[in-house]
Amino acid sequence: MSTSKTIKSALISVFHKDGLAPIVQKLNELGVTIYSTGGTEKFIKELGIDVVPVEDVTSYPSILGGRVKTLHPKVFGGILNRQDHVGDVAEMQEYEIPQLDLVIVDLYPFEKTVASGAPEQDIVEKIDIGGISLIRASAKNFKDTFTVSSMEQYDEFLSIISENNGETSLEQRKTFAAKSFNISSHYDTAIFNYFNEDEVVFKASETTSKTLRYGENPHQKGYFFGDLEAMFDKLHGKELSYNNLLDVDAAVNLMNEFVGEDPTFAVLKHNNACGFAQRATIKQAYVDALAGDPVSAFGGVLIANKEIDAETAAEIHKLFCEVVIAPSYSDEALTTLKGKKNRVILIQKTTELPVQNVRTALNGLLVQDKDSKTDTLEDLTYVTDTKPTDSEIKDLLFASKICKHTKSNTIVFTKNNQLLASGTGQTSRVDALRQAIEKATSFGFDLKGAVMASDAFFPFPDCVEIADKAGITSVIQPGGSIKDQLSIDYCNANNISMVMTGTRHFKH
């Protein structure tokens, strides 16, 4: 039996009518009988094309304020019947059920209604019942029925029927069925997540995807699921890679700690800040951030919390960097930065980021709340006899923000709102501390009077002792070790101030 089917009848009932007219006109040209409801029926009539109201088939009007229009055996029988099944064919004749070869239906805009901040009653009314049922039924019966479930599919469908004179193949019908189940499952996920408050269930669905050049390495495939255009305006440069996106994510999350503050600039490499400074001008912030580690900055990701001007761009242009991110750029700055054809230039938009972190682990997923806690002055407990000065407190909180976004185990040194060095991703805190000291020394920084932040407590006093001998005068850490007192005792004996926050900031 041939798997090709010629469309002779269609049910069309859509919320979005943009782009529908050419399809309706082509179906009419092909002699297809069109059934419809409500606003879509009116739309088709206004095109001067004959349309059969669904009410004429079901002998029921649209009832309950439009909540029930197509939910009827004569509609679903026309969709779900198996054309090669003798019993189905007989019942179709017995009950005078019209064959429906094509279903064009979309869904009420539930997610957009939620995003608009509409009241719950309006949101509930955007939970589609008839549409979702029609999509599932016609997709299930793809062997005989063609399903178009979104306005994004209109152009492709129109090409199919135009090129093949209304005839469709089994492969085409199955492909569109898959698209339909993708839409229906995404829709149900959005509804569940809106209502769910108690069940510990992970449901996520991303319908927007981008194929990357490759993954972490060239032999790995890579994809991004999400809407980058909602986050950034890309002004220039090559396509973002998998590794670029990881660094951009780290950069955005770090700089979100400094929104609305004085001009701040960060340079990131492998998800960690290798340079960071806050100054009176964005140019000086960049210059001092770069000084933190000009070697690691090569090929890095740069991010600013203020507009990048011409002078800053001229300095940036001297460095090979992969990505530059800012809320805006002057015209002169853009002209300069575009001087490197592959350099990616992004304008960051104001966008809400996910409140959970998700990653694969073993044969499942690890899901956690995002670390949204930022240490503040009110969180500090002064545990040593020597108290930090006002300028040290400012540096301690500054260091804590950077430390929170640096891979564990980590130690961060700052002074005068500048990152002097950090030890990142080490297997011991002592190793992280020694790495930070070595880096600071190699780039000519004097650690005398600098402060130190640690993402977790000190199990022994060795860290504060090593830091003291390097010139550190004040320390911020979460505390919580059974041997905290040993570190406190060392600080008291050596005139070092130390504060505890009570909050650990591991980042694995």
Please give the biggest Cα pair distance in the chain. 98
Q: Which helix (H) or strand (E) holds 188?
A: helix 170-195
**Angstrom distance (rounded) from CA 457 to CA 49:** 75
Tell how many helices (H) and how many strands (E) occur in the chain: 19, 23
DSSP state for residue 447 in the 8-state scheme: -
CA angle 450, 395, 461 (to 5 degrees): 55
Q: Which amino acid is at 258?
A: F
Tokens of 41: 């029926």
CA pair distance 206, 209, nearest whole angstrom: 7
Cα separation, 253 vs 245, in Å, equals: 12
Tokens of 299: 């090929």
- Annotated catalytic residue, options 270, 317, 338, 340: 270
Active-site residue (options: 8, 140, 210, 317): 140
Q: Which residues contact 29 (CB under 8 A, 6 or more apart)?
A: none
CB 338 within 8 A of CB 234: no
Which of 83, 115, 116 minimizes the C-alpha distance to 99? Answer: 83
What residues are paired with 367 via a beta bridge? 358
SS3 (DSSP) at 154: helix
DSSP character at residue 301? E
Interatomic CA distance for residues 132 and 150, integer angstroms: 12
What DSSP state is assigned to residue 281?
S
Residue 121 CB: number of other CB atoms within 10 A?
7
Q: How far apart, in whole angstroms, are the C-alpha atoms of residue 274 and residue 289?
A: 8
140 is catalytic: yes
DSSP string over 388-404: PPHHHHHHHHHHHHHHH
10 Å CB burial of residue 79 (0-12, 13-18, 19+) is buried
Task: Using the structure block, give the residue that is written with the tokens 């793809």.
Answer: 142
Active site members = 140, 270
